[in-house]
Amino acid sequence: MTALARIGKRTTANVYKTSTACMQRVAALAALVIVAIPATMTAILIWISVGRPLLFRQVRIGAGGHLFTLVKFRTMHDLRGPDGQLLPDRLRETAVTRIIRFLRFDEIPQLLAILNGHMNFIGPRPLQPWTVAKFGHLGTVRSQVRPGLTGWAQVNGNTRLSDVDKLALDIWYIDNHSAALDTWIVLLTVVTLLRGERIREKPLALARERLAGRSTIAVQGDVVADGGNS
């Protein structure tokens, strides 16, 4: 490939990336208008059910390792045990907030993060810095794209999966990202909302295989680097 061809390819990619980001923001703005009434009703139900504050804020990792503040509707009490530790989620949520979480209405404020350019509609879910750091090099790979409201891991098992399996699915998504895949994820998200979370074995097996391959390459790279420094 000539230098001119490489420049042209890079320019096309940048234009596509910029136009996609603009479309995401316009869609987020439209979505905020559409869900204004459900968001207001959700806020009222949370105020009655768990009280104030209505919003939950937490620092998460965005694309390129940049930090941003994730905002969601608060759906749990801050109840703690005798040891001062927070009680399990199931003991801190209410019947009302359990339904809100099931319908994903607690995620509505994250549309603001899409509007601000911190998130996309589709992508790996935003994680806390310590969780990303735990994944090492693969955590850096996972942070190559903007996090999303829903993603490949969320439609293939989500809370039924281990952290390693979620990571495998996120890495597979990044390696195979396309507009067609994003469309498929949107459809599967609707199915998941209607039928509940289920582990899809075939996508999970492919993701595990891909993660194993990446891990092998990373280990081999570390061995080479260590050998060069000896």
Closest residue by Cα to residue 164 from 101, 215, 202: 215
- Within this chain, do residues 19 and 96 fall inside the same structural domain, yes or no? yes
Question: Is residue 111 located within the same domain as residue 161?
Answer: no
Residue range(s) defining the domain that contains residue 191: 151-230
pTM: 0.80
* Residues 83, 19 share a domain: yes
Identify whether 130 is part of a domain: no
- In this structure, the answer to whether residues 179 and 112 fall within a common structural domain is no
Q: How high does pLDDT run on average in the chain?
A: 86
Domain-embedded: residue 143: no
Of the two residues 221 and 124, the one the predictor is more confident about is 124
d(CA 197, CA 160): 7
Asked if residue 169 is part of any domain, the answer here is yes
| Other beta carbons less than 10 A from residue 190's beta carbon | 11
Specify the higher pLDDT residue, 7 or 51. 51
Residues 21 and 106 in one domain: yes
Q: Does residue 83 belong to any structural domain of this protein?
A: yes
On whether both 111 and 156 belong to a single domain, the answer is no
pLDDT 10s digits, 114-144: 999 999 999 999 999 999 999 999 999 999 9
Question: Contact 105/73 with Cβ under 8 angstroms?
Answer: yes
Residues 25 and 91 in one domain: yes
Same-domain check for residues 155 and 111: no
- 26 inside domain: yes
CA angle 219, 131, 92 (to 5 degrees): 150
112 and 167 assigned to the same domain: no
User: Where a domain ends, among 119, 143, 178?
Assistant: 119
172-205 pLDDT per residue, tens: 999 999 989 999 999 999 999 889 899 999 999 9
Does some domain include residue 126?
no
Q: Return the structure tokens found at 60.
A: 């998460």
Look at the chain and report how many structural domains it folds into.
2
Beta strands in 102-182, from DSSP E residues, in sequence order:
120-122, 148-150
Whether 77 and 160 share a structural domain = no
Taking only the tens place, the pLDDT of each residue in 20-63 is 778 889 999 999 999 999 999 999 999 999 999 999 999 999 99
Contact 169, 156 (CB under 8 A): yes
Q: Do 98 and 157 have their domain in common?
A: no
- Domain end residue (candidates: 102, 119, 136): 119
Average pLDDT, stretch 71-91?
A: 86
Q: How far apart are CA 45 and CA 48, in angstroms?
A: 5
In a domain, 139, yes or no: no
DSSP calls for 39-71 = HHHHHHHHHHHT-S--EEEEEEE-GGG-EEEEE
Residue 21 sits in the same domain as residue 110: yes
